[in-house]
Structure 1
Amino acid sequence: MKLLALIIALLALVPRISEGQVMGPQYLVQVGGLAMSCKANSGVQVAIYVDYSLDNIGVARTAPNGAPIIVLNPNVISRYSPIVKQWWFAHECAHHALGPWNNETNADCFGAKELVKFGILNNNSQLQSFVNELASLPGSLQSGHLPGYERAMRIASCALDFS
């Protein structure tokens, strides 16, 4: 009971996050129950920010000072399964980690390989659920994202090639 009272007291001290507020930087974040971080191709740790006003799950950007950053919107990312959340984080990380080989298709593949490498995506049932969820994503000619089903099949191929 004392532990519960202590936890409640500590939570009262945590600042509330309001809509539109940007928080960060962080260098290790919980994504779908897994602690994740990102390192750029240059070896620099990528700063991670939370922005509830972002109209996307997440984006990889360069800060005004040239530092690599990832911006995530927890409201949007919460709509997806833990594996898709983790893949998306790895995809955004890939935009910094791949250096000159950075493009949407390579970032998609990098994300799938990371899930396999760390044992997150490790059986056919998980892969099928993952593909089904990704297949519903819209594509975008502007961003270079393939239409959902085609994108999902390419990502699955990367996962299978790496396993």
Structure 2
Amino acid sequence: MQEVIPAGSLTLAGTPVRCGVARTVVAPIGDIAMTYPGAIVLNPRLFSMPPAIQHFWYAHECAHQLFGYDEQNADCWAIQTGKRMGWFRMEDFQWMNRELQYLPGDADHLPGPERLAGLKSCYAAGAAPEVQPVPEARPATATRIARQAPALHSRPSS
């Protein structure tokens, strides 16, 4: 069973999110998230993850909508966006470390330890947060990722 959510109508952890004109499809897929031209597909398991992680995976897939299918660039853009907007903090890496460290990697994704090192490097290089989140209401701001329609690409990615 799948649910199609129009662009701008998705809420993650109580915060509205949008990626240009990309709609969101919630469906039981083999990965946590993936993207197709004009659509971000989220596994329902995403909604049980911590708020910062939900926003990270959505932003990662949005990066593919906006910039193409390079996994490291999508990771970097998502983590820097999270830092800048205040919904991803250094302590959120605890969850990432636990969940990603044993991933073997594949043709598109680095093995877990290398991917984590890249994420931490991008986080360190990112700008300071524009907004200081209120601890009890985190994430405090919407993932205002894109105002323009994203470029559409021809192959799925996760």
Greater relative contact order (CA < 8 Å, ≥ 6 in sequence): 2
Distance 1:137 1:78 in 2: 22
Q: TM-score, normalised by structure 2?
A: 0.70
Q: Cα deviations across residues 43-66 of structure 1 (Å, max 9, x unaligned)?
A: xx2111211x3222111102xxxx
Q: Structure 2: which amino acid aligns with 1:105?
A: Q
Letter in 2 for 1:58: A
8 Å Cα contact 1:135/1:150 also seen in 2: no
Per-residue deviation, 1:114: 1.0
- Pick from 46, 57, 64 the counterpart of residue 77 of structure 1: 46
Q: Does 1:21 align with 2:16?
A: no
TM-score, normalised with respect to structure 1: 0.68
Larger radius of gyration: 1
C-alpha distance after superposition, 1:55-79 (max 9, x if no partner): 22111102xxxxx1111122x2135
Note the residue ranges of structure 1 that are not aligned, 5 or more in a row. 1-19, 40-44, 63-67
- How many positions carry a matched residue from both structures? 127
Q: Distance in 2 between matches of 1:24 and 1:119?
A: 25
Which residue in the other structure is 2:103 paired with? 138
- Please tell me whether the aligned partners of residues 12 and 47 of structure 2 are also in contact (alpha carbons under 8 angstroms): no
2:11 is matched with which residue: 30, 38, 60?
30
Runs of 4+ in 1 over 4 A off after TM superposition: none
* 1:64-111 deviation line (CA, Å, top 9, x unaligned): xxxx1111122x213532211110000000001114xx4011001011
Distance 1:47 1:133, change over 3 A: same
- Gaps spanning 5+ residues in structure 2: where? 128-158
Query: Offset at 1:28?
Result: 3.1
Question: 1:159 is matched with which residue?
Answer: 123
C-alpha separation between the residues in 1 aligned to 2:104 and 2:81? Answer: 22
Alignment match of 2:85 (pick from 105, 113, 118): 118
How far off is 1:134 after superposition?
Answer: 4.6
Structure 1 vs Structure 2 CA RMSD: 2.0
Q: Percent identity?
A: 28
Quickly say closer, same or farther: Cα 1:106–1:84, change in 2 above 3 A.
same
1:109 aligns with 2:79: no
Q: C-alpha distance in 2, partners of 1:77/1:56?
A: 10
- Distance in structure 2 (CA, Å) of the matches to 1:35 and 1:133: 27
